[in-house]
Structure 1
Amino acid sequence: MNKKNRVTSYDVAHAAGVSQSAVSRVYRPGVSVSKKTREKVLKAAEELGYKPNAIARMLINRSTGMVAVIISSRANVNFPEVLAQLNKHIAGKNKRVLLFTLDDADQLETVIEQIFAYQVDGVVALTAHFEPDSVTQFAKHNIPVVLYNRELPDHSVSSVCCNHDQGLRMLVDILVSHHHQHFLIMAGPKDSDVARARLSGARNALLAHGFTDTTVIYGDYSYDSARDSLSAYVQNNPLPTAIICSNDTMAIGAIDEIRENLGLRVPEDISVVGFDGISASSWHSYQLTTVSQPTYFMTKAAVETLINLIETPEVPPETRYWPGKLIEGNSVAAAPRDND
């Protein structure tokens, strides 16, 4: 049926012999309406092929029922799972996801303007970096924001985060317990809030064990960047006995580079640890020691926090931390004696 012939609530009201407001009440959850009126409306609607316009109904209630989710195209491998769970939790709150993808941080301003045009009820941001000015812009438009797995210290915005410090402490503790002393940190991109948090966590964990001078190289979270950065590093530097990677994808890239181009073994010659707990980390060739993020609970908490902010705007912002789970694979062994 084309738009010109689309059945409206007025048509249903006329056919059922009731008012247009009665039709509206039938399709509004929790609104009282007599059994007789409901039956008449539903019968007329079925005969006419009427389907209520959810967007129009929400606009009447001054709500679009849409939640904007902002994600970077440089997404982590586990982000499809995160998006699926976010969508499930948001749908459970009778709202829908409007997805916006960023190729780089410079596009954030454009995306924000698009979000304003759609008059969304709230925003969940999974971008690599989120500027404080962006939070201010949303606040001026009375649109609540929840940051996923990143935070803006000293700024008034809610966040749901994995405890990166706790996860890195567990990984470093394992490496130190295996007598490693020569570490290399393979960090994520410098403009990523999560990568910076994990780099800080790794440094602090090593510092707690007395290691004050650890070399850092950078990738962009990708498999190829890990191989390239490690290959360039070993050209002019001694090999570490342990590599701490910002995510599992780079850890897998490091393992393949060690085995294929350096001619060494993992973990007998070099131990490697990652972070995230992606499915590939458990593959037989890798069996990575890593920290998995509780994505189900984190996404659920992000949506609950956002809905609470939408329904109760005066609620103050909060940051909720979730501990990661240590997965001990086969990518860590005792440091080689000749490197001690």
Structure 2
Amino acid sequence: MDSGVKKPGVTSSQVAEHAGVSQSAVSRTFTPGASISPKTRAKVLASAKILGYRPNAIARSLITSRSRIIAVVMAYLENLFYPDVLEELGRALAAENYHLLLFTGFMDRDSDPVFDQLMQYRVDGIILASTSLSSELSEECATAGIPVVLFNRTTERDAVSSVTTRNREGGKRIADFLVAGGHKSFGYIAGLENSSTNRDRQEGFMDGLAAHGFTEAIVETGNYSRSEAEDAARKMLSRPDRPEALFVANDHMAVAVMDVARYEFGLSIPEDLSIVGYDDVGPARWTSYGITSMSQPLKRMVEATVDILMDQIASGEIEAEHRILNGDLVVRSSARLPKTGIVALDGRKLYRPRDV
């Protein structure tokens, strides 16, 4: 299949002809609450699936008349990184005279169940943040000429673009920082184990430790959930071989881990335990937490996402494009400091060793 060229959509009349029913029967099939026999409905749905028809989604009018709506599917608004992303996306899309339509997806699996709903709006593009679509639906979007961009996730699928940061390098930078701070034992509290961001951060962290001769780190899983991060922290901090330093896969969980360490175990941060997070958002910047965190350049990530969408909408060519941006390790008070490598820039302290 040539995913770089728009193909004409399937019409309801074609579905009616294929199913051997009237066009009004097709309309009633896709109208909630409309009267239609189960047998006729089943025939229409079978023909629609064979022909690849979705009402209002793969329509000829998309070629000449745009809805100017971009669907944003988010699954993790509990993490303050994503409300910030949503606000910035709204601004960037408005500047292009596009509207943002928000749908709630699933963090731990593909968000296919919301696909039918969002496609009723004849959206011109789809942004998936902290979630994804199956390969089948990704290909269907490409066939319909609807660009899809994964935000803060990566993919190997030919029809889907992505914008993310160098998570593997970020994990390695954190390992370098903690080793340079004199720590000898380490732990990692993981996010969703099947997510690309978690996988890359963990692999980078482990590779970074190994480069310094540390081949082991204790791992617990928090699944990007506050309550599960708290449980993971309790398990890790109850161990007789409790690590001296923790890398937590994002700031949302790092706050929970710090609360458990301070208020349940009576530990002083960073004297008894160093904690480093990821994202550099929300409470990480509050003086009561002051979490050292690997930043994600949110504004530049949003700009890249909108740029990809606008280019593909204008050209009508759906070809995967992957942009990977750099972040910085922002140094605050939650971890013991290295003797060298910390620089001041634009009012922030950053860890930038000479070889970076």
TM-score range for the pair, normalised by the shorter chain length: 0.7 to 0.9
Which of the pair is proportionally richer in helix? 1
Structure 1 position 84 matched with structure 2 position 63: no
Q: 1:176 to 1:281 in 2, by over 3 A?
A: same
Aligned to 2:102: 99
Letter in 2 for 1:240: P
CA contact (8 A) 2:188 2:247 kept: yes
Correspondence 1:1-340 to 2 at 5 A? 61-73=64-76, 75-103=78-106, 105=108, 108-153=111-156, 155-314=158-317, 316-333=319-336
Q: 1:294 to 1:61 in 2, by over 3 A?
A: same
Q: CA offset at residue 298 of structure 1?
A: 0.6
Aligned to 2:30: none
CA contact (8 A) 2:130 2:152 kept: no
The count of residues paired between Structure 1 and Structure 2 equals 278
CA contact (8 A) 2:127 2:148 kept: yes
Q: 1:83 to 1:242 in 2, by over 3 A?
A: same
CA contact (8 A) 1:129 1:192 kept: no
Structure whose CA Rg is larger: 1
Letter in 2 for 1:194: T
Q: CA offset at residue 60 of structure 1?
A: 9.6
Counterpart Cα distance in 2 of 1:289 and 1:197 = 19
Q: CA offset at residue 107 of structure 1?
A: 7.0
Q: For residues 302-333 of structure 1, what are the alpha-carbon distances to aligned partners after superposition, in whole Å with 9 as ceiling and x for unaligned?
A: 00111101111336322111111221111111
Which of 308-317 and 92-101 deviates more?
Answer: 308-317
Q: CA offset at residue 129 of structure 1?
A: 4.2
CA RMSD of aligned residues (A): 2.2
Q: For residues 124-148 of structure 1, what are the alpha-carbon distances to aligned partners after superposition, in whole Å with 9 as ceiling and x for unaligned?
A: 1103344333322211222111111
Letter in 2 for 1:256: D
Q: CA offset at residue 160 of structure 1?
A: 0.9
CA contact (8 A) 2:237 2:261 kept: no
Structure 2 segments unaligned to the other structure (5+ residues)? 1-60, 339-356
CA contact (8 A) 2:209 2:215 kept: yes
Letter in 1 for 2:324: Y
Q: For residues 94-139 of structure 1, what are the alpha-carbon distances to aligned partners after superposition, in whole Å with 9 as ceiling and x for unaligned?
A: 1111111024556722211122222111111103344333322211
Q: 1:117 to 1:154 in 2, by over 3 A?
A: closer
Counterpart Cα distance in 1 of 2:320 and 2:199 = 22
Q: 1:79 to 1:278 in 2, by over 3 A?
A: same
Counterpart Cα distance in 2 of 1:132 and 1:263 = 48
Q: For residues 269-294 of structure 1, what are the alpha-carbon distances to aligned partners after superposition, in whole Å with 9 as ceiling and x for unaligned?
A: 11110001113112222211111211
Q: Secondary structure at the match of 2:111?
A: helix
Counterpart Cα distance in 2 of 1:226 and 1:239 = 16
CA contact (8 A) 1:180 1:334 kept: no
Counterpart Cα distance in 2 of 1:234 and 1:169 = 23
Q: Percent identity over the alignment?
A: 33
